[in-house]
Amino acid sequence: MKKVYIETYGCTANEADTNIMKSMLLKSGFKLVDRIEEAEVVILNTCIVRGESERKMVQRIIELRKLSKRFNFKLIVAGCMAKARPALVREIAPEASMISPQLVEEIVEVASTPHRIVKISGEKRTMLPAYFEGVKFTVPIAEGCLGNCTYCIVRIARGRLRSYSPEKIIEAVKCAVKKGAKEIRITAQDTAIYGLDIGYSLPELINQIVEIPGDFMIRIGMMTPNAAMRILNELLEIYSHPKVYKFLHIPLQSGDDRILKLMRRKYTSSEFIEIAKKFRQKFPDGFIATDIIVGFPTEDEEAFENTVKVLEIIEPDKVHVARYTPRPHTEAAAMPQVKENIKKIRSKIITEIALKIGLKRNIPYIGRIEEALVTDLGRKNTFKARLRSYRLVIFKSEGNCIGKWIKVNIENATPIQLIGKLST
């Protein structure tokens, strides 16, 4: 019985891929361990969405390679780095095996083979992850995207759209709910394009999932504005269901139409604003998360100010800010670049604006008693819970209440979370 240790970085799709690998390894007689020192096989599931992410992965691979010589384990590099940057992996860890996201179902062969093996060509995606622990279950509904963004390396790693059948997804969710899952996290590179390749749609899928018996909530993952616009009325309807978090993750990237065109995004800033406004009109307490790239090639002060204006109009509850970094094999890497010091300044400005907006959106909850689903342990004897809008609440409890609905009295707020105590 070989012992396997797995480290996972990046998005929920990577988390789901790790669970697929865990399922297959356990079924084949492997044992999962929590300590590298005990492992005979170490799998690093990588993320390289940004330059910072890639540098972190490079450093971790170098560290693991050194540890492999000390503890004598086989190193496997999985995920997006194996697919999009195999030459770099070989350069820094010549002995490491590699397996792409499309071939995670062949992990047993890679882990069992004593010598180096590389599986990065071709596609074989038929399995969905199994439910393991906790109360959250991440289910990928599709792999790949239909975009062709000039800055993105993930499309090289993940490929074109391939949707899972609704039957497989429904069965996976049913099994997870029966075993105790309370939060179902629907994920894909773009959830709103689900089913376009198989004659189906995201609203149709969610309408089926909500009919599954059980007490659970659905968190719908990231969707591009252009894909969301195509099914906006149906989307707003499915968000109305009590089992669906009022949580919309829709990336803006830039509030300037010239930059959006250079990025090859398929929407305008006004279309983004329209989607966000319609969501807020229907769900005033709804939670909007977005992503911003500052310092994209040729972004001038006017373009940056246009992004600021859109944020001030929409007031998203959460903003993930990333400084643009050139990625290999992308068109944007060859465009005129913005200076790093300017990127840092703009990143700081957007972050400060986002924190002010976040606090403004959270303060009205102080004094309210809210219903929340407890999902995780927090720090220092606290628990994490989610309102039906997916807004985060931190509270203390003497007993373990994970997986339970509670009433919480909101006593304070920060830009990123609410703080409360159990209501009696």
CATH number assigned to the domain comprising residue 398? 2.40.50.140
Q: What number is the average pLDDT over the span 388-415?
A: 94
Give per-residue burial for 113-141: e unless 16+ CB within 10 Å, then b: eeebbbbbeeeebebbbbbbeebbbbbbb
Assess if residue 242 is contained within a domain.
yes
Show the domain range for 64: 3-119
The answer on 173 and 200 residing in a single domain is yes
**Closest Cα partner for 56 from 69, 46, 68?**
46
In this structure, are 182 and 74 located in the same domain?
A: no
388/348 same-domain check:
no
In a domain, residue 125? The reply is: no
- 89 in the same domain as 219: no
Rounded mean pLDDT of 215-225? 97
Q: Amino acid identity, residue 396?
A: K
Here the CATH number for the domain that contains residue 190 is 3.80.30.20
Residues 19 and 59 in one domain: yes
Residue where one domain finishes, among candidates 322, 347, 363:
363
Per-residue tokens: 364: 């009205």
Backbone angles phi and psi of 316, in degrees to 5: -65, 150
Same domain (yes/no): 81, 179: no
pLDDT of residue 128: 85
Q: Is 114 helix (H, G, I), strand (E, B) or coil?
A: coil
How high is the mean pLDDT of the chain?
A: 94
User: Alpha carbon of 255 to those of 259, 267, 351: distances in Å?
Assistant: 8, 11, 15
Q: Is residue 124 part of a domain?
A: no
Shared domain for 315 and 401, answered yes or no, is no
Residue 98 lies in a domain: yes
Name residue, tokens 């079924």. 27
The bridge status of strand 247-249 relative to strand 217-220 is unpaired
pLDDT confidence of residue 160:
85
In a domain, 128, yes or no: no
Co-location of 231 and 353 in the same domain: yes
Same domain, residue pair 379 and 327: no
Read off the pLDDT of residues 86-128 as tens digits, 9 standing for 90 and up: 999 999 999 999 999 989 999 999 999 989 999 988 777 778 8
Q: Do residue 336 and residue 203 come from a single domain?
A: yes
Place of tokens 């189906």: 200
Rounded average pLDDT over 31-49:
93
Asked if residue 132 has pLDDT above 70, the reply is no
Q: What is the CATH number of the domain that holds 53?
A: 3.40.50.12160
Q: Are 176 and 307 in a shared domain?
A: yes
Residue 288 contacts residue 339 (beta carbons within 8 Å): no
pLDDT band at 67 (very low <50, low <70, confident <90, very high): very high
Q: How far apart are CA 411 and CA 366, in angstroms?
A: 5
Count up the domains in the chain and report the number.
3
Q: Is the pLDDT of residue 286 over 90?
A: yes
* Residue 232 within a domain: yes
Q: Identify whether 88 is part of a domain.
A: yes
| 416, 368 contact by CB (below 8 A) | no
In Å, how far from its chain's centre is CA 258? Answer: 27
Examine residue 344 and state whether it is found in any structural domain, yes or no.
Answer: yes
Q: How many CA atoms lie within 13 A of 271 on its CB side?
A: 18
Are residues 353 and 371 both part of a single domain? no
What is the average per-residue pLDDT within 339-359?
Answer: 97
Last residue of a domain, one of 89, 119, 149: 119
Task: Please tell me the distance from the alpha carbon of residue 106 to that of residue 110, in angstroms, as a whole number.
Answer: 7
